[in-house]
């Protein structure tokens, strides 16, 4: 039975409190259902200020890492969208350019045949001078049409293992006999160790020919043009072309790779634009630096062999 206890408060009122019933004793052969000791309660110790600061620091570092990762993927998506838009633009330009070039080439071919016939005739001196100008302009127009088609056409690479030192040496050997480099000194500084990359050798030769020709045209007879191959880290390979001469104005540097922009009186303005396309197709970069004291240096950076 439940036992009760009478309590008397300060006011003299009586209160009756029932004691909790005692647990029943086990019968013979039974185990005790209620534990003899109460369930232990472990004390709670709040984290120390140092551990709280460490936790906050780790959370902050994780948030910064996540923010950097999100920014990286955002930039990658932006770059892919830009490349897609550029490819669509080039496809539209290529279709238009092909039709225009075709319409120009037909009469240009007829004019070229007539000029060839005139060159075989015995013409007076004034007529020969005018004929020479007409032939020169016809050749320049033909080169312009070829470059327009080349620029508008997407770059298709035929990759293979390329020894960069050997490719530069072979290309320079043929360049020494061109009109632009005939009276210039081409100096090649190869890498001390062989450098092999995965690239399209014909496209790289086109890049080198354009850069070296530009460098030769920027200096006077007898001046030197330096070409070098170097490694940057474990995964980057650089091709550099350096010349002295007059520096390029800073406002012009940013426009050199834009199509149809040229600083030459007879230039087409598509040479460096095509070079930029080829380098982009190789996942590389093009950098042009120019100063009055250091001259002009063009650096092509390409990924190493995959």
Q: Is the same domain home to 88 and 172? A: no
Least reliable range by pLDDT among 22-31, 212-221, 237-246, 272-281: 22-31
pLDDT in tens, 242-285: 998 788 888 888 888 887 777 776 677 788 888 998 999 999 99
Domain endpoint, select from 121, 152, 183: 152
How are beta strands 224-232 and 185-189 bridged, if at all?
A: parallel
Domain boundary among 124, 152, 180: 152
Residues 6+ positions from 261 with CB-CB distance below 8 Å: 255, 269
Same domain for 253 and 135: no
pLDDT 10s digits, 193-207: 889 999 999 999 999
pLDDT of the residue at 146: 82
Name the 3-class secondary structure at 1.
coil
Domain count, the chain: 2
Which pLDDT does position 93 carry in this prediction? Answer: 66
151 class by beta-carbon count within 10 Å (0-12 exposed, 13-18 middle, 19+ buried): buried
Does position 94 have pLDDT exceeding 90, yes or no?
A: no
Q: 284 and 191 in one domain?
A: yes
pLDDT, residue 35, reads 54
Per the CB < 8 A criterion, the answer to whether 298 and 286 are in contact is: yes
Claim: this prediction has a pTM higher than 0.75: no
**pLDDT band (50, 70, 90) for residue 10:** low
Domain endpoint, select from 152, 184, 218: 152
Give the pairing of strands 285-291 and 224-232. unpaired
Domain enclosing residue 131, as ranges: 69-152
DSSP annotation of 46 reads P
Q: Which helix H or strand E contains 100, and what residues bound it?
A: helix 49-119
**Residue pair 154/90 in contact by the 8 Å Cβ criterion:** yes
Which pLDDT does position 164 carry in this prediction? Answer: 94
Q: What is the pLDDT of residue 172?
A: 93
Q: Which of 93-107, 154-168, 239-253 has the lowest mean pLDDT?
A: 93-107
Question: Which of 74-88, 130-144, 200-214 comes out lowest in average pLDDT?
Answer: 74-88
Whether residues 171 and 142 fall in one domain:
no
| Joined tokens for residue 140 | 């320049």
Residue 43 has pLDDT above 90, yes or no: no
């Amino acid at each position: 039975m439940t036992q009760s206890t009478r309590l008397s408060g300060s006011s003299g009122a009586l209160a009756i409190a029932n004691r909790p019933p005692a647990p029943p004793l086990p019968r013979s052969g039974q185990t005790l259902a209620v534990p003899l000791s109460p369930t232990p309660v472990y004390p709670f110790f709040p984290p120390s200020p140092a551990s709280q600061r460490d936790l906050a620091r780790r959370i902050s570092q994780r948030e910064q890492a996540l923010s950097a990762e999100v920014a990286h993927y955002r930039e990658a998506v932006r770059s892919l969208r830009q490349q897609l838009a550029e490819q669509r633009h080039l496809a539209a330009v290529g279709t238009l350019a092909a039709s225009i070039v075709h319409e120009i080439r037909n009469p240009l071919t007829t004019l070229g045949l007539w000029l060839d016939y005139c060159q075989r005739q015995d013409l007076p001196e004034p007529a020969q001078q005018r004929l020479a100008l007409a032939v020169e302009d016809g050749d320049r127009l033909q080169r312009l049409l070829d470059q327009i088609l080349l620029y508008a056409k997407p770059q298709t690479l035929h990759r293979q293992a390329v020894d960069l030192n050997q490719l530069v040496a072979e290309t320079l050997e043929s360049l020494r006999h061109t009109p632009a480099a005939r009276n210039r000194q081409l100096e090649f500084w190869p890498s001390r160790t062989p450098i092999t990359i995965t690239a399209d050798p014909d496209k790289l030769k086109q890049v080198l020919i354009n850069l070296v020709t530009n460098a030769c045209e920027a200096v006077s007879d007898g001046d030197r043009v330096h070409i070098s191959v170097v490694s940057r880290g474990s995964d980057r390979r650089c091709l550099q072309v350096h010349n002295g001469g007059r520096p390029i104005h800073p406002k012009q540097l940013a426009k050199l790779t834009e199509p149809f922009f040229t600083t030459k009186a007879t230039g087409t303005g598509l040479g460096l634009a095509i070079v930029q396309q080829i380098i982009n197709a190789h996942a590389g970069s093009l950098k042009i630096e120019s100063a009055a004291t250091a001259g002009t240096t063009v650096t092509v950076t390409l990924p190493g062999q995959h």
